[in-house]
Amino acid sequence: MPQSLTISPRMFIPETLQRCQLHECHGACCAFGVWIDLLEKERIIEFAEIVQSCMDPTNYNRGDWFLTEIEMDSFTLSGKVIHSRLVSRKQPFKRKTCIFLRTDHKCALQVASEQLGKHPWFLKPFYCVLHPLDLNDNRQVTLDDTKLILEEEKSCLRYSERLNAPIEIFEEELRFLLGDSTYLSSLSLARQNWQLKTDQEEE
């Protein structure tokens, strides 16, 4: 995972949000594939046999799981990324989707990771774990405009009747990406800010 990431103050702001449910969104975030760091690609190929056993059958060999074009990316470990191949399918979406998306809406890389006895995101690319979060120019994990996200069909966020801060909604992702220490210290700071704001409003 990229080093020296922190959490944007935007993640501390409670909003009427909650995360998606796989049985409702059907893995819509996987529809357009993902940029994969070259080191992440090497790890996937290292465990290609078990990954392939977890994938839906396709006409592509493991060497064809990725496109050939390489782009520079300052946020990833190697600084170079390659895109996953998109394949046509009737389920779960009647359009091209990431080759690793299965018809049961699960990611073959995540299923393979669990079969290896590893963390579910052991083989998942950084940008898969990060989504729908984003990175700003200061290398801070943040969240795009809420209105735009909620308007997106099968969004990774849903409306909630209660307030939830993104730093809490995405606890699992943030702990994985930043480590427990950074996450917990950021959460403590966020809660102090909430309390200070509440106290000021009550005065």
Residue 181 lies in a domain: yes
- Domain of residue 88, residue span: 35-130
Q: Are residues 4 and 44 in the same domain?
A: no
Q: Looking at the domain assignment, is residue 116 inside a domain?
A: yes
Asked whether residue 91 falls in the same domain as residue 156, the answer is no
User: Of 97, 130, 163, which closes a domain?
Assistant: 130
Query: Considering the domain boundaries, does residue 109 fall inside one?
Result: yes
Tell me, yes or no, whether 173 and 122 share the same domain. no
Written as one letter, the residue type at 74 is S
Asked whether residue 28 is assigned to any structural domain, the reply reads no
For residues 72 and 100, state if they share a domain. Answer: yes
Q: Same domain, yes or no, for 195 and 152?
A: yes
Local confidence pLDDT in tens for the 203 residues of the chain: 666 788 888 888 888 888 777 766 667 778 789 999 999 999 999 999 999 999 988 888 888 999 999 999 999 999 999 999 999 877 666 778 899 998 888 999 999 999 999 999 999 999 999 988 889 888 889 987 666 666 665 567 777 788 888 898 899 999 998 888 888 888 887 777 665 555 444 44
Q: What is the pLDDT of residue 155?
A: 65
Q: Which residues contact 43 (CB under 8 A, 6 or more apart)?
A: 123
Q: What is the pLDDT of residue 199?
A: 47
Decide: 129 and 109 in contact? Cβ < 8 Å.
no
Tell me: do 157 and 105 sit in the same domain: no
| Residues 89, 55 within the same domain | yes
In a domain, 182, yes or no: yes
Query: Does some domain include residue 26?
Result: no
Cis-peptide, bond into residue 9, ω within 30° of zero: no
* Residue 99: inside a domain: yes
Question: What pTM was estimated for this model as a whole?
Answer: 0.83
- Check whether residue 119 and residue 171 sit in a common domain: no
Q: Is residue 100 domain-shared with residue 144, that is, in the same domain?
A: no
User: Structurally, how many domains does the chain consist of?
Assistant: 2
175, 200: one domain: yes
pLDDT at 174: 92
